[in-house]
Structures are given as C-alpha cells and as structure tokens.
Chains A and B, each alone.
Chain A
C-alpha cells in the first residue's frame, strides 16, 4: 500500500468512468460515470494529503467534492425526470430541443 498504487487505482476508476460516459446513451448511466470520476479525484486528494503534505486540507477538499456531487446528482436527476416526462425517454440524444 503506497502512493503509486493508489494513483493507479484512481486512474483505473477515472478511465472506467470516462468509458461509461463515452459509450452510454442513458443519461442516468452517464451520471454514474461522472460519479466514478469524482470518486477518482477524491482518492487522489486524500492520497496526496496522507502521503505527501501531511496536513488535512486534502480531506476538506474531498468533503466539498462530496457535497458538490450530492447537489449535482439531485439537480441532474430532477432534470432527467422532467426530460422523461417531456420526451418519454432519458437518452441523451433525445435532449436536442435547444438545437437551432
């Protein structure tokens, strides 16, 4: 258990989230990919805070990232429900109402 192993784990999480975002059509699945990426960033914050800086600021950053993720998930899921009520689907390709 060392810093570089944690960074490799975090990179794997990031790439899984990126693949999820790039391949899925369902908006809820895309949101899952975003949450995976936020978790990867959090692991990096906490790992560097634990191994390199030795102060607790990284953990405070991670707490704020969790707060932002919760707010983002709530608003995004409300938007998805409204999109489902409007178009009958939650595919991201269906949300092109603003296209000219």
Chain B
C-alpha cells in the first residue's frame, strides 16, 4: 500500500509537470474532454491517490507517539473498520486506470494499426494491461522488500509470504504471457496487414528493433514465469530476485513497445519516424520521483509499523 502510494503520488507529480501548467491541472476535471482516455486515466489516478492517502492514514496514526492521542487513535481505528469499502473503490479506480492505458489506441483513429478487437468498447489490450499490472505488482513488492532487507540487514517478511506472492505472480504472468502471445500473433497477422502495413515497418528506423519484442516475450516474460512457477526456482533468493526484476522490466518494455513504438511510425507522407529518448529534464524528473520514493519509504520504515513481523523474525540475542 505504501509502495502504491509512493508510485501514484509520484505519477501525479510527474503528470503535473508533464501538462506544462500544473496550476491549471484542475481543468482536467472542470473542462473534461470525455472522449479522452487520458482524462479517464487522470480521473482514476487522482481519485485513487485520495483513496491511497485514506488507506495510508491508519498506518501513520499507528505511530507510537500519535497513538497516544485518543482522538487520532479512534479516527484511525474507525477508518480501518471500513477500509474494505475504500479498498473496493480503489480496485475499481486502478482497474480502469490500467485498462484505459491499454485501450488508448481504441480511440486514436489516426493510428488504427494498434487497436485490437475486443469486448464491447474495450479492446483486448485493455484487459491485458490490467492483467499484466496485477502480475507485475507482487514482484515489484518483493523487490522493494528484498532491497529493504538488504539495506537494513534484517529479515522483515516471512519466507512463506514471499513464496506465496511469487507463486501468485508466476501464475498470473504465465496466463498473461499465453494471452499476450495470442494477442501479438493476432496483431501481426490480422490488424497490421489490414492497415496496409507489415510488422517490420514498426522497427525499421530508430533504436528500436524486433529484439525488443523477443526480450519482452521470451527473456522478460516466459523465463520469469517459469522461474516463479517452479518451487525450486522461487525458493532460491538469487533466482527469485532475478525473475522479479525480469518481470518488472518486461512490463515496462510492454508499455514502451505498445505506446512509444506505435506512436513513432509515420502516418502522413510528410511525416518521419520519431524515435524517443528522454531529455535530461525528463531523466531529472524521473530520478526526483525515485528519490522521493526512497525518502518516503525510509521515513515510513523508521517511524511506522510497516513490517509487523520484524521483531518476531529478528529476536534480540543477549
């Protein structure tokens, strides 16, 4: 939940800078273009950030000093009591946020070569984005936990909890990979030829290439799925971290290939192939968000009961 809060607040901060005039950010809500997928994504991200903040409050109020204030303790407990309702709202919001990113090309009529068939108004990529996000989330949590364990030199989470997360992630990733391979085949042999293009035209210029698809599907998809589904694989610390890392890289590659590469190819005779490499300003903003994440997580670990089993797993030896 804390990692989710860090990621979403970082994303909102980045979006605030991306829109150029953050002071006019509220225009998204007040003058909304309801045909824009990005408006829906903005709605979902901001509302979900509010929900995450509400979910974070009881943990903040569990701080041993704040807990001494009766009213704050009561407030925290009352919030905790109805947290299931907030969590359900949050699930709905995050579902549509991830899905809308996957369904974005369904409304980009100028680039019909990326939009898939689907269910009602939702292309298959809508559901694939949701599934891939769910498959990757546990692995990202494992990575953050392992990094914290490495930095603190303590065991913070029981092995069975990590193993369960890895197993869930492995199965979800394997289901996703099967569907994603079918999606790629359907796209390569159906959607792309119908649009008068060939698969290789997406990788003709720029630093992109078919190697990215191979990397996404085989090395960062099938390989981590096999490691995570195999009990011996996920029980080995090294393999578990390696597979989790590959899983996360694969999902990032998937987003890059689906969005950036599709936007790169020219659609007009006077257009040219636009390759994308972040500018130093973009790297700066990205790294600032990473720094903010480390800072907030460190503060949470220092002052809040983030790992309730920490004492039990690290008994003090006299």
To the question of whether A and B form a pair in one complex, the answer is no
